[in-house]
Amino acid sequence: MPNNKCELHTDTGAPLGYTARSDGQYSTFSPMCKCIPIGEFEDLPIEDNRKDILKDAYDTISKLTLWDWLAKPDVPGKNGFVGSTDRTVAEVSNAMSYTGHSGSSFAYVMRAMETIAKRGWDFYVDSIVLADTCQCRHNKGLTGWCGVAGGGVPACDH
């Protein structure tokens, strides 16, 4: 099951609006020092329809007790989640409440769940919040996705 440290550490090396955790990552604390509870996507700065499908996938994997499976380094395999022949991937897909997934949306939610399983809830939330509020992109007049925070192609200074 994913973990959430939710500890406040003060450090001047954190970007504007963030505090640094003891492990060197950034914490996603609101000004009131309230962290986002594990598995609650409602307060994340993403589109509402994505919140619903992420919550559905999260609840499904929790119900099926598949977090340890998803955390394995060889999951999803060389064909990804959409092209997987792993019966467990099909089990997750069939158990989800949302039945309107395209290959793209299924891959999106499963990659998000994989990030949570392998890197933890704090890392996932940090990547979403930093992608939305990346100060170096704002300073350059850029908008949209932050490649570094999201794990993709660098577009930022951090």
pLDDT tens, position by position, 44-72: 878 888 899 999 999 999 999 999 999 99
What is the per-residue pLDDT across 14-23, written as a single tens digit (0 to 9) for each? 444 444 455 5
| Global model pTM greater than 0.85 | no
- Would you say residue 100 has pLDDT above 70? yes
What phi, psi does 26 have (nearest 5°)? Answer: -100, 145
The contacts of residue 20 (CB under 8 Å, 6+ apart) are 9, 10, 11, 13, 14, 26, 27
Across the strands, what pairs with 122? none
| Nearest alpha carbon to residue 157 among 136, 143, 142 | 136
C-alpha distances (whole Å) from 94 to each of 60, 127, 144, 146 are 10, 28, 33, 32
Asked if 28 contacts 36 with a C-beta cutoff of 8 angstroms, the reply is: yes
H or E segment at 89? helix 87-95
Q: Centre a 10 Å sphere on the Cβ of residue 65 and count the other Cβ atoms it contains.
A: 9
pLDDT of amino acid 147: 47
